[in-house]
Amino acid sequence: MLKQFASLPIIDSHVHFVHPERMDELLALMDAVPCGRFNLVCIPNPDATNHNPAAIYFKKHHPKRAFISGALDYTVLVDPEHAPEQLAEQIFTLRDSGFDGLKLIEGKPQVRKLLPFPLDGALYAQMWTTVEEIGFPVVFHVNDPGEFWDAERCPDWARESGWDYSDGSFPSKEDLYSEVENILKRHPDLKITFAHFYFLSQDLERAGRFLDKHPSTCFDLTPHLDMYHDFSQKPAEAKKFFLKYQDRIIYGTDTDTRTLQRGESGVNFTRSVPQIIRSFLEINGEFSMPNGKRYHGLGLSQEVLGKIYAGNFERIYGAIPASLNV
Ligand SMILES: [Zn+2]
Give the model confidence (pLDDT) of 109-142 as tens digits.
Answer: 999 999 999 999 999 999 999 999 999 999 999 9
Q: Which residues pair with 219 in a beta bridge?
A: 194, 249
pLDDT of residue 282: 97
pLDDT of residue 284: 95
pLDDT of residue 250: 98
Q: Are 295 and 228 in contact (CB under 8 A)?
A: yes
- Say which range, 50-54, 58-62, 274-278, 288-292, has the weakest mean pLDDT: 288-292
Centroid of ligand 1 to alpha carbon of 43 (angstroms): 9
Please report which residue ranges of 43-121 form alpha helices under DSSP H.
52-61, 83-97, 109-114
Least Cα distance to 22 among 48, 58, 49 occurs for: 58
Q: Are strands 294-298 and 284-288 parallel, antiparallel or unpaired?
A: antiparallel
Centroid of ligand 1 to alpha carbon of 120 (angstroms): 21
DSSP label at residue 79: S
Give the whole-angstrom CA distance, residue 261 versus residue 191: 32
pLDDT, mean of residues 165-185? 97
DSSP string, 217-268: -EEE----TTHHHHHHHSHHHHHHHHHHTTTSEE----EEHHHHTT-HHHHH
Give the whole-angstrom CA distance, residue 11 versus residue 214: 24
Centroid of ligand 1 to alpha carbon of 81 (angstroms): 31
Centroid of ligand 1 to alpha carbon of 279 (angstroms): 21
Please report which residue ranges of the chain form alpha helices under DSSP H.
23-32, 52-61, 83-97, 109-114, 122-134, 156-160, 173-186, 204-213, 227-233, 235-244, 257-260, 264-282, 302-306, 312-317
Centroid of ligand 1 to alpha carbon of 16 (angstroms): 6
Q: Are 44 and 69 in contact (CB under 8 A)?
A: no
pLDDT of residue 2: 52
Give pLDDT tens digits for 137-154. 999 999 999 999 999 999
Give pLDDT tens digits for 59-94. 999 999 999 999 999 999 999 999 999 999 999 999
What does the buried/exposed string (b/e) look like for 259-287 if buried means 16 or more CB atoms within 10 Å of the residue's CB? Answer: bbeeeeeeeeebebbbbbbbbbbbbeeeb
Phi, psi of 107 (to 5 degrees): -95, 0
Centroid of ligand 1 to alpha carbon of 224 (angstroms): 10
Centroid of ligand 1 to alpha carbon of 101 (angstroms): 15
Give the mean pLDDT of the chain. 96
pLDDT of residue 1: 47
The reported pTM is 0.97
Whether residue 5 is predicted with pLDDT greater than 90 in this model: the reply is yes
pLDDT, mean of residues 189-193? 98
Contacts of 102 (CB under 8 A, 6+ apart): 69, 70, 71, 72, 91, 94, 131, 136, 137, 138, 139
Give the whole-angstrom CA distance, residue 67 versus residue 62: 9
Whether residue 188 is predicted with pLDDT greater than 60 in this model: the reply is yes
Least Cα distance to 102 among 49, 64, 48, 52 occurs for: 52
Centroid of ligand 1 to alpha carbon of 242 (angstroms): 22
Whether residue 206 is predicted with pLDDT greater than 80 in this model: the reply is yes
Give the whole-angstrom CA distance, residue 255 versus residue 269: 9
Centroid of ligand 1 to alpha carbon of 233 (angstroms): 24
Centroid of ligand 1 to alpha carbon of 15 (angstroms): 7
Least Cα distance to 45 among 101, 94, 87, 105 occurs for: 105
pLDDT of residue 300: 98
Centroid of ligand 1 to alpha carbon of 122 (angstroms): 26
pLDDT of residue 281: 98
DSSP label at residue 49: -
* Burial label, 122 (beta-carbon count in 10 A; 0-12, 13-18, 19+): exposed
DSSP label at residue 50: B
Least Cα distance to 14 among 222, 261, 312, 228 occurs for: 222
| Cα distances (Å, whole numbers) of residue 262 to 24, 68, 258, 265, 323 | 17, 24, 7, 7, 33
For a pLDDT cut of 90, what percent of the chain falls above it?
95
Whether residue 292 is predicted with pLDDT greater than 90 in this model: the reply is no
Least Cα distance to 219 among 316, 154, 301, 106 occurs for: 316
Centroid of ligand 1 to alpha carbon of 111 (angstroms): 13
Whether residue 3 is predicted with pLDDT greater than 70 in this model: the reply is no
Bigger pLDDT: 48 vs 227: 227
For a pLDDT cut of 70, what percent of the chain falls above it?
99
